[in-house]
Amino acid sequence: MNFGIIGSGSWGTALAKILTDNGKTIFWWNRSAKAIDQFKARGHNPQYLCSARFNMETVHLTTDIQAVVNGSDVILLAVPAAYVVEVLSVLPKNAFEGKKILSAIKGILPEQNMLLNDFLHKQFNVSISDYFSVMGPCHAEEVAAEKLSYLTFSGVDETTTLAISNAFKTAYLKTVVNPDIIGVQFAAVLKNIYALGAGIAHGLDYGDNFLSVLIANSADEMAGFLRKAGIVNAEIGYGVATKHKDHSLHHNYSDSVYLGDLLVTCYSLYSRNRTFGNMIGKGYSVKSAMLEMNMVAEGYNASKCMHIINEQVGADMPIANAVFEILWNSQPASEIFSRLEQDLV
């Protein structure tokens, strides 16, 4: 099973490190020929996670995205959701024929307002049976530092999902599989929005007591959306053990890919969404916060996308709506949160 990686940011680099640590040879796309030359000369990504060293004999770097696709059985997509359409636009409609797609994108395509699997099916005729995701509470910085982490691989094809997950197992990376390919993606989108809210609260000088209430309510709000969207087992306590010791096929809302990822994204100082929200709470404009961070906070576009999607789903989402009003309708954060206080329990 040969892996190709499209995306050279922090998360793409961390996942590349896992694969090469396991002796996998990878084909890796980077849009910058200069960055590739520096990478080859130094043995590390010059722009992201510079401490992660690579055996360059196992890494084939190229600016030719078609070459990456041609040389790989599994294509790992790890670019920000806002850039997916542009990056893949050079590929023909049959580019992914006979390939497996592994999404590491915790976002929603803003212009199309759809999950990645829906776009790939529409644009490249990728079947849901050939589409997989890798999600969970894993900050790239900790993976690169080889701190113990857990990743969940989701797909409707149990055998292939397990095979892909096994390629990422290391002493510092535990893998779990589940079949909830749609639910895990929506959870990953929503947790970024709630992390923005947690950051805004911190910037407004709310304390830990309030933050815990906000996140607890966010967890309940997320579960409510998933249930409304038709995701089963979106409640704590519904997990069912299987005969497998190293993975679970009966997902449970308390699993790390749902609740765990929400918690770490809301609390961790590594979280770019929390950082972005913190700036907004302190009075930065959206544009100023973007320029200051120089990184993509997926929750920004996601807050608008999910607002539109929920017009059809009809879930009760006061926290996500509050974030939307602040970021997209320029409502004062202090006033919106003052009203939000009355909705929390």
- Give the tens place of pLDDT for each residue, 145-195: 899 999 999 999 999 999 999 999 999 999 999 999 999 999 999 999 999
Last-in-domain residue among 128, 158, 179: 179
> Could you tell me whether strands 74-77 and 173-178 are parallel, antiparallel, or unpaired per DSSP bridges?
unpaired
Last-in-domain residue among 147, 179, 211: 179
Distance CA 342, CA 300 (A): 24
**190 and 175 both lie in a single domain:** no
| Tokens, residue 54 | 């690579």
Q: Label residue 234 by pLDDT band (50, 70, 90).
A: low
Say yes or no to pLDDT of 141 above 90: no
Q: What is the pLDDT of residue 206?
A: 97
Say yes or no to pLDDT of 247 above 80: no
Q: Label residue 279 by pLDDT band (50, 70, 90).
A: very high
Better-scored residue on pLDDT, 124 or 106: 124
Q: What is the pLDDT of residue 297?
A: 82
pLDDT in tens, 191-223: 999 999 999 999 999 999 999 999 999 999 999
**159 and 187 both lie in a single domain:** no
Q: How far is CA 228 from CA 103, 138, 259, 310, in A?
A: 24, 27, 17, 9
Distance CA 320, CA 335 (A): 15
Q: What is the pLDDT of residue 105?
A: 93
Other CB atoms within a 10 A radius of the CB of residue 296 amount to: 19
Q: How far is CA 144 from CA 34, 106, 140, in A?
A: 23, 19, 6
**160 and 224 both lie in a single domain:** no
Q: Residue 71's domain is classified under what CATH number?
A: 3.40.50.720
**137 and 221 both lie in a single domain:** no
**109 and 158 both lie in a single domain:** yes
pLDDT in tens, 72-89: 999 999 999 999 999 999
Domain that holds residue 54: 3-179
Last-in-domain residue among 179, 204, 226: 179
Distance CA 131, CA 116 (A): 9
**162 and 253 both lie in a single domain:** no
Q: What is the pLDDT of residue 52?
A: 86
pTM value is 0.89
Q: What is the pLDDT of residue 240?
A: 47
Q: What is the pLDDT of residue 15?
A: 94
**250 and 107 both lie in a single domain:** no
Which range among 25-39, 145-159, 191-205, 291-305 shows the weakest confidence by mean pLDDT? Answer: 291-305
In the chain, pLDDT over 70 holds for what percent of residues? 93
**57 and 100 both lie in a single domain:** yes
Is 199 in contact with 275 (CB distance < 8 Å)?
yes
Say yes or no to pLDDT of 340 above 90: yes
**116 and 187 both lie in a single domain:** no
**171 and 219 both lie in a single domain:** no
Q: Label residue 43 by pLDDT band (50, 70, 90).
A: confident
In the chain, pLDDT over 90 holds for what percent of residues? 70
**146 and 166 both lie in a single domain:** yes
Q: What is the pLDDT of residue 290?
A: 87
Say yes or no to pLDDT of 238 above 60: no
| 3-state SS, residue 224 | helix
Q: Residue 305's domain is classified under what CATH number?
A: 1.10.1040.10
Number of domains composing the chain: 2
Q: What is the pLDDT of residue 317?
A: 96
Say yes or no to pLDDT of 246 above 80: no
**12 and 113 both lie in a single domain:** yes
Q: Label residue 254 by pLDDT band (50, 70, 90).
A: low
Dihedral (Cα; 271, 273, 279, 284), 10-degree rounding: 150
